[in-house]
Amino acid sequence: MASVKIFGSPTSTDMARVLTCLFEKELHFQLVRVDAFHIKEHQLETLKIQPNRLGATFEHGDITLTDSREIIRYVAKNFPKREELLGPGMLERASVEYWLKMEENLFEPASSALLNLAFPVNMPLEHDMDELYECKKDLAEVLDMYEKQLWETKYLAGDKFSLADLSHLPNTQKLMTTECASLFKSRKKVSQWWTDISSRPSWKRVMAMQAKSPEVA
């Protein structure tokens, strides 16, 4: 079987998502670390990474993927041993896909907007309180939906951990270091869910890698 190779920095959201999936599958892979601040344009072309989106690039044989959610779908589908992250049947897979889309279309925009306010690229930045309020409101509405679902099932897509839960780890981890942590802690089932998924060995390995890596924008 062709070897797996990934390019990026463990501190980036996309790479953290991909690394967690690879660790869940207990796959052997080669990590090529990419420094967003120092890599040259010709190197980007060589590594098949988009210059305007330094995240994760995945290579497996003649397959090259650059979208982190597509990468984890590919890994879950093509490496079925170990954790079943897509669901064992059609209904389960449909549920996983539904919540993955919820993360991508609702959670990610709301959480990223709050992170941009909490950790602005161009320092210093005076927070627009109206904008902050609206961003918190948007995320709170998403978490209310999660809370309702998590009263019914242990994880978002059912009673087993899946890509739907995994995809939330990077942004939520960052939000938990800000005042926005209260949005998660104030919802009983969301709080329990976060404690559960953030305690997985795969995520702890990613966190350990991040602690040893330089920050990436």
**Tens digit of pLDDT for each residue in 95-113?**
999 999 999 999 999 999 9
**Which residue in the block uniquely carries the two structure tokens 């309020």?**
133
Residue 157 and residue 118 share a domain: yes
Residue 189 and residue 106 share a domain: yes
Q: Is residue 117 part of a domain?
A: yes
Strand partners, 4: 29, 60
Q: What is the pTM of this model?
A: 0.87
What's the pLDDT score for residue 123? 47
Q: Is residue 217 part of a domain?
A: no
Taking 50 as the pLDDT cut, the residues of the chain under it are: 37-39, 41-42, 46-53, 122-124, 216-217
Q: Is residue 216 part of a domain?
A: no
CA distances from 130 to 122, 133, 144, 163, 167 (A): 20, 5, 21, 33, 28
Domain that holds residue 59: 4-84+203-211
What's the pLDDT score for residue 107? 98
Under a CB-based contact definition with an 8 Å cutoff, are residues 71 and 22 in contact? Answer: no
